[in-house]
Amino acid sequence: MTQGRWLLLVAIGSVLLIGGGLYSLTAAKPSGTDVGRETKMSCDMGISAAKAARGVTSTAMQPQAANNGTGQPAAKPSRPSGSAPEGMAWIPGGEFWMGADEFPDAQPWHRVSLDGFWMDKTEVTNGQFAQFVKATKYVTVAERAPRAEDFPGAPPENLVAGSVVFSPPDHPVKLHDHFQWWSYVKGANWRHPEGPQSSIKNRGKYPVVHIAYEDVLAYAKWVGKRVPTEAEFEFATRGGLQRKPYAWGDELKPGGKFMANTFQGHFPDKNTTEDRYAGAAPVGSFPPNNYGLYDMAGNVWEWTSDWYRHDYYQTLVTQGPLARNPQGPADSVDPSEPGVKKKVHKGGSYLCTDQYCARYIAGGRGKGEPDTGTNHLGFRLVRPPSR
């Protein structure tokens, strides 16, 4: 039993979500909040509420051009011979700078070396996931009613299957009270993204959502792939670009063009949908990056295999000048919810905005409990070159 699942059960319809999990209903609001203005916030997978530390620049490692110790760019492994696996792109591997100046948990910048791998060009879609369910009869975590023995003392009427859904208010609200735009909805799951009255009819090309980490592993086993590490995801996101804030370069909207599905307008009450989408978009609706990958920023958050630690990067740089194929920390620590284990999410979502969450930045990190899905969290997979 996790803190998140417990609070979902005892507070259905009135859930405070912090750091990708659920926080005590009696948690104190941040002190010193200026009620006369809105405070920029960061969100992890669109659910967390930690304040951002924008503009903080790490000095632990001074950035320099990526190289292999000779002053020359590191060699990239050649593409494997033969045809590419269906729907996948070759990610050549090599060395890169990983991190971001904007977020404390993405500092310091550090050097990483990766072997090449294949990666899904898009997020896994409803259509693809439906094929898996049809073949295996798999039932996702969100579709299962919690067991009474796992939640002793929970009222029977609260032991209902469901998931977390973004439910925006119809008026401006202060950004420290997250009850106002998140709800635990009975009957919400991958088949019913907004709740029992919704469906995925005509949404076969949309990313599947409300997927817990257990569900990801089951699908990955079926297709013979695996979940990407955090480092693999960020390297693939950058598409060969070094230390750029976005998957496509330096500007959020180069030439006024939308490059990702994010939030425009006033968060959380009014999305002007200038990019054409109020929620998730069909995969591939925006331009690919240099590796031919779509929606590596925005659309929906995506699972990685790494456990989340706020201080992982700080620990990593003490182990040497170059991390080779890092697999993440051995445990999970999130100071906002001590004792709650979380996995790293990457990429941001359609709810990301500079007003609240700008973690569509290439080095941004999200986090979430493995058993918690939402309607803006999905996944894609990778495969080693030998397969």
pLDDT in tens, 7-62: 444 444 333 333 333 322 222 223 333 323 333 343 443 333 322 222 222 223 33
What phi and psi, each to the nearest 5 degrees, are found at residue 361? -55, 140
Please state the domain extents for the chain: 1-28+37-387
| Cα 203 to Cα 378: distance, rounded to the nearest angstrom | 14
Dihedral of the CA atoms 88, 93, 97, 102 (nearest 10)?
10
**Helix residue ranges per DSSP H, the chain:** 3-10, 126-136, 213-223, 230-238, 312-317
Three-state DSSP class for 138?
coil
| Cα 149 to Cα 340: distance, rounded to the nearest angstrom | 20
Token pair belonging to 16: 């405070």
**14 in Cβ contact with 179 (< 8 Å):** yes
pLDDT in tens, 358-385: 899 999 999 999 999 999 999 999 999 9
Q: Which of 206, 167, 202 shows the shortest CA–CA distance to 186? A: 167
Burial class from Cβ neighbours inside 10 Å (0-12, 13-18, 19+) for residue 83 reads exposed
CB neighbour list of residue 328: distance below 8 Å, 6 or more residues apart? 229, 230, 304, 305, 306, 307, 312, 344
| Cα 52 to Cα 62: distance, rounded to the nearest angstrom | 22
What phi and psi, each to the nearest 5 degrees, are found at residue 145? -70, 130
Q: What is the pTM of this model?
A: 0.83
Tens-digit pLDDT profile for the chain (387 aa)? 444 444 444 444 333 333 333 322 222 223 333 323 333 343 443 333 322 222 222 223 333 333 333 333 344 556 888 889 999 999 999 999 999 999 999 999 999 999 999 999 999 999 999 999 999 999 999 999 988 887 788 788 878 999 989 877 778 777 777 777 778 899 999 999 999 999 999 999 999 999 999 999 999 999 999 999 999 999 999 999 999 999 999 999 999 999 999 999 988 778 999 999 999 999 999 999 999 999 999 999 999 999 999 999 999 999 999 999 999 999 999 998 899 999 999 999 999 888 777 899 999 999 999 999 999 999 999 999 975
| Cα 359 to Cα 242: distance, rounded to the nearest angstrom | 17
What phi and psi, each to the nearest 5 degrees, are found at residue 316? -60, -40
In this structure, CATH architecture of domain 1-28+37-387? Alpha-Beta Complex (3.90)
